[in-house]
Amino acid sequence: MKKQEITTKNSINHTKSIKNLDNLKKNDINYKKSLGQNFIYDTNLLNAIVSDADIHDDDVVLEIGAGAGTLTSILASRASRVISFEIDRSLSEILNDVKNRHANVEFYFQDFMECDIDELPFERAKVVANIPYYITTPIVFKLIDKIEKFDMIMLLVQKEVAERFASSNGSKEYGITSVILQSLFDVKITRVVRKEAFTPMPKIDSAVVKMVPHKKYNITNFDEFRAFIHQSFSMRRKTLVNNLKSKYDKEIILNSLKSLNLNENIRPEQISVKEYVLLFDMLKN
């Protein structure tokens, strides 16, 4: 893995960093829409986001998409170490300046999707990132494949995506991603971030979603569980029984629903995460 070697000055000067942020905003950064470059320069907002993350001075933080390093700087002033990925090498001069002010930051100028998380220099970390929205789902699934490495994952994503992550059964946003994420994490939206807070301004608002791993369920084969959830939601307008009957015995599905006190005409979006886990256990045996 290639890592940018940058000389370091061991000094953290917050006043200076705020001045630099002001200058940065005036600077004509060539924002690349194709890389999801919508940056945040508002120090108060960034501080509030990092407070939601509850970062301690012994935490290692993984950031995906450093941008101009505004969030990185604040993370670095609270964490023991920040490992930050940025695919756009044209930002390296700005980020070198961040590195000069914060010796505990390491930038990896490469595609996060190509890194091997097991090779990163930490045993466990917290993820805090304003991620590029065009690869939200791949990033989330890459992280959850290594869930044992993360104490917490906090991402700034499009508001409607955050709502899908956090919604409960019965709501129209509830679906495959809600069940899969909530079977592993307590998922909570900590704040909405208006589109005006970004430079350049995107079309829609965003939200910060905080995911803390829980051990509520013992799902023995997670890949099979994921496939089961995809099958359950294959046709949203159909009943669960109709969606599952090509893969499982209809009688067994009906008996399992009955033992969970669920109606045989129940639709996929009406079933809770816990009920899905129980149903999966019954059907796979």
| 275 sits near ligand SAM (criterion: CB under 6 A) | no
**What is the SS3 assignment for 256?**
helix
159: enclosing H helix or E strand: helix 159-166
| 269 sits near ligand SAM (criterion: CB under 6 A) | no
Start-end of H helices in 43-150: 43-53, 70-78, 92-101, 136-144
- For ligand SAM, the binding residue among 76, 78, 101, 112 (CB under 6 A) is 112
- For ligand SAM, the binding residue among 20, 60, 62, 85 (CB under 6 A) is 85
For tokens 């890389």, name the residue. 35
For the chain, give percent helix, strand, coil, nearest 5: 45, 20, 35
- For ligand SAM, the binding residue among 17, 20, 29, 36 (CB under 6 A) is 36
> In the stretch 133-152, what mask flags binding to ligand SAM with x, by CB under 6 A?
--x-----------------
Shortest gap between Cβ of 131 and ligand SAM (angstroms)?
6
Instruction: Return the number of the residue (76 or 262) whose C-beta is nearest ligand SAM.
Output: 76
> In the stretch 39-78, what mask flags binding to ligand SAM with x, by CB under 6 A?
xx-----------------------xxxxx-xx-------
| 130 sits near ligand SAM (criterion: CB under 6 A) | yes
Instruction: Return the number of the residue (67 or 268) whose C-beta is nearest ligand SAM.
Output: 67
| Terminal-residue alpha carbon distance, the chain | 43
Which among 32-40, 54-62, 141-149, 169-177 is the span making contact with ligand SAM, rule CB under 6 A?
32-40
Tell me the C-alpha distance between 177 and 214, whole Å: 16
Instruction: Return the number of the residue (130 or 183) whose C-beta is nearest ligand SAM.
Output: 130
CA-to-CA dists, residue 164 to 113, 201, 271, 276, angstroms: 22, 22, 15, 17
Shortest gap between Cβ of 202 and ligand SAM (angstroms)?
9
| 98 sits near ligand SAM (criterion: CB under 6 A) | no
The phi, psi pair for 203, rounded to 5°, reads -80, -25
- For ligand SAM, the binding residue among 74, 98, 132, 178 (CB under 6 A) is 132
| 109 sits near ligand SAM (criterion: CB under 6 A) | no
Tell me the C-alpha distance between 272 and 275, whole Å: 5
Instruction: Return the number of the residue (68 or 257) whose C-beta is nearest ligand SAM.
Output: 68
User: In terms of Cα–Cα distance, which of 222, 126, 122, 128 is closest to 179?
Assistant: 222
How many residues comprise the chain?
285
- Phi-psi label, residue 65: left if phi above 0, alpha if psi -120 to 50, beta otherwise: left
Instruction: Return the number of the residue (117 or 176) whose C-beta is nearest ligand SAM.
Output: 117
Can you give the binding site for ligand SAM, defined by CB under 6 A? Answer: 35-40, 64-68, 70-71, 85-88, 111-113, 130, 132, 135
